Structure 1
Amino acid sequence: MHVVVNAAISADGKLSSRRREQLAISGEDDFDRVDRLRADSDAIVVGVGTVLADDPSLTVKDADRRKRRREGGEPENPARVVVDSKARTPPDAEIVDDAATTYVCVSESAPVDRRMELADRPDTQLVTAGDGRVDLLRAFATLQADGLERIMVEGGGELIFSLFEVGLVDELRAFVGPTVIGGRDAPTLADGEGFVEEFPTLALEGVERIDDGVLLTWRVDEGQ
């Protein structure tokens, strides 16, 4: 399995404002790059906070890319994955429509009625892993057992930190946009509790100017 974290951040490292509303940090050229990355992925992963804030569909937008996936024997869209410990994903959310298979990863503490409601959605599969919180290692092992090898993570900051914490991230791609958001309560690329020792180290693989921003690509140092 190869896990790529992809995010657009402001020049000061924020994913969005303190209101946690979706912001257009990048432009059309970067949107197209993200769509290419989606089309090359087996699954796209987000945390439930992203679902509740943005209601994303996480589908491939370009018709030619969807066609190429079909011609290659793949579904039009990659699978969608929500990490959702308490099963808070709304049953009418875009991410659990019938555009692609959706995995909702929940913990044992998620209310049974909410789990059943989500399981009734078309093409939705529940993955139960962990007690109070989703056990990411177990959940991702289940995804891999289902043949999902190329994993794209689109946020948010709590999930990204947790994936780094358990050593699941192989690559980080960050588009740094030409804006400053500020705010001590605004979400950053990696939130959560934060590291105090044994910080993950990254090896710079590429630098590319896109629009008025820059795309930075790092490989996670396996010797961390």
Structure 2
Amino acid sequence: MPRPYVLLSAAVSIDGHLDTRPGEDRLLLSNKQDFERVDSVRASVDAILVGAGTLRADNPRLLVNSAERRASRVAAGEPEYPLKVTITGTGNLDPGWKFWHHGGDKLVLAVDHEATAKARANLGDLATVQSVPAEAVWPAALDILGDAYAVKRLMVEGGGTVHTQLLEAALADELQLVIAPLLVGQFDAVRMLGPASYPGGPAARLRLLETRQIGDVVLLRYAPKDTSTEPR
């Protein structure tokens, strides 16, 4: 099977933050209308992936909330929920997180054998744990998802490190970025992207697929693999 189509999804403040500084209450960037859009996107994919750091910080359930959308998946011969995936470099995963106790099947991709063993010991039968090599984490992860789990569309919901790594490796096919009318302003707030050697360098311009106003936020859809150095 080919690797899945990789869709990165994030909401950020105008100054590029996913959240305020660590330890503060979670900042809600999006709005009700956009949460509905995100739920629709989740219902359209085969798997949803987040990094272990996002599970640790936000303790999300990552569900398709609409009963109608779940019923449509089942009617189409698909599981009620997309496969839920996380990736960890340590295996330090809390079995009490909501992620494990809601929705359908869960998969942990653990970087190297030590993290794999620790994740299995921590989670037991809460999730399937599979090892990925440290020297080729993301290519191996996408190969596993395509070959072993028949994932055709993968939605990646963070965090910033995961988004940065996939964009740097030119493995993201689409970026869905929602801009919220907020200015965080904290130097130590959580950023959407970190420093990296992005393909094409600072002058590479991503192709814009769509702009859409959704209440007081704006959705921007980009094709990260399709770049040029000329303004469009």
Structure 1 gap segments, 5+ residues each: none
Residue 177 of structure 2 is aligned to residue 174 of structure 1: yes
Give the partner amino acid of 2:47: A
Match of 2:84 in 1: 80
Structure 2 gap segments, 5+ residues each: none
Match of 1:14 in 2: 17
Contact kept, 8 Å, 1:78 with 1:100, in 2: the verdict is yes
Query: More helix per residue: 1 or 2?
Result: 2
Q: How does 1:89-128 map to 2 (within 5 A)?
A: 89-97=93-101, 99-108=103-112, 110-111=114-115, 113-118=117-122, 120-122=124-126, 124-128=127-131
Match of 1:198 in 2: 200
| Aligned partner of 2:54 among 50, 55, 58 | 50
> Superposition RMSD on alpha carbons, in Å?
2.0
C-alpha distance in 2 between matches for 1:141 and 1:221 = 18
CA drift of 1:153 comes to 0.6
Contact kept, 8 Å, 2:206 with 2:227, in 1: the verdict is no
C-alpha distance in 2 between matches for 1:223 and 1:14 = 24
Aligned partner of residue 19 in structure 1, secondary structure: coil
- Of 95-104 and 22-31, deviating more is 95-104
Aligned partner of residue 49 in structure 2, secondary structure: strand
Q: How many residues align?
A: 221
C-alpha distance in 2 between matches for 1:196 and 1:223 = 11
Aligned partner of residue 219 in structure 1, secondary structure: strand
C-alpha distance in 2 between matches for 1:112 and 1:34 = 31
Identify if the C-alpha distance between structure 1 residues 196 and 184 changes in structure 2 by more than 3 Å, giving closer, same or farther: farther
Aligned partner of residue 110 in structure 1, secondary structure: helix
Identify if the C-alpha distance between structure 1 residues 112 and 106 changes in structure 2 by more than 3 Å, giving closer, same or farther: closer
Contact kept, 8 Å, 2:18 with 2:192, in 1: the verdict is yes
- Of 112-121 and 181-190, deviating more is 112-121
Identify if the C-alpha distance between structure 1 residues 85 and 67 changes in structure 2 by more than 3 Å, giving closer, same or farther: same
Residue 223 of structure 2 is aligned to residue 219 of structure 1: yes
C-alpha distance in 1 between matches for 2:100 and 2:157 = 16
String of CA shifts for 1:123-174, please: whole Å, max 9, x gaps.
x21121123x771110111001120110001011001001112221000011
Aligned partner of residue 180 in structure 1, secondary structure: coil
Aligned partner of residue 95 in structure 1, secondary structure: helix
C-alpha distance in 2 between matches for 1:196 and 1:100 = 34
Q: How does 1:153-192 map to 2 (within 5 A)?
A: 153-191=156-194
String of CA shifts for 1:51-81, please: whole Å, max 9, x gaps.
0011111110001001111111111110111
Runs of 4+ in 1 over 4 A off after TM superposition: none
Give the partner amino acid of 2:99: I
Q: State TM-score, norm by structure 1.
A: 0.91
Q: State TM-score, norm by structure 2.
A: 0.88
Identify if the C-alpha distance between structure 1 residues 118 and 74 changes in structure 2 by more than 3 Å, giving closer, same or farther: farther
Match of 2:214 in 1: 210
Match of 1:2 in 2: 5
CA drift of 1:190 comes to 1.3
Identify if the C-alpha distance between structure 1 residues 2 and 24 changes in structure 2 by more than 3 Å, giving closer, same or farther: same
Contact kept, 8 Å, 2:170 with 2:225, in 1: the verdict is no
Residue 137 of structure 2 is aligned to residue 135 of structure 1: yes
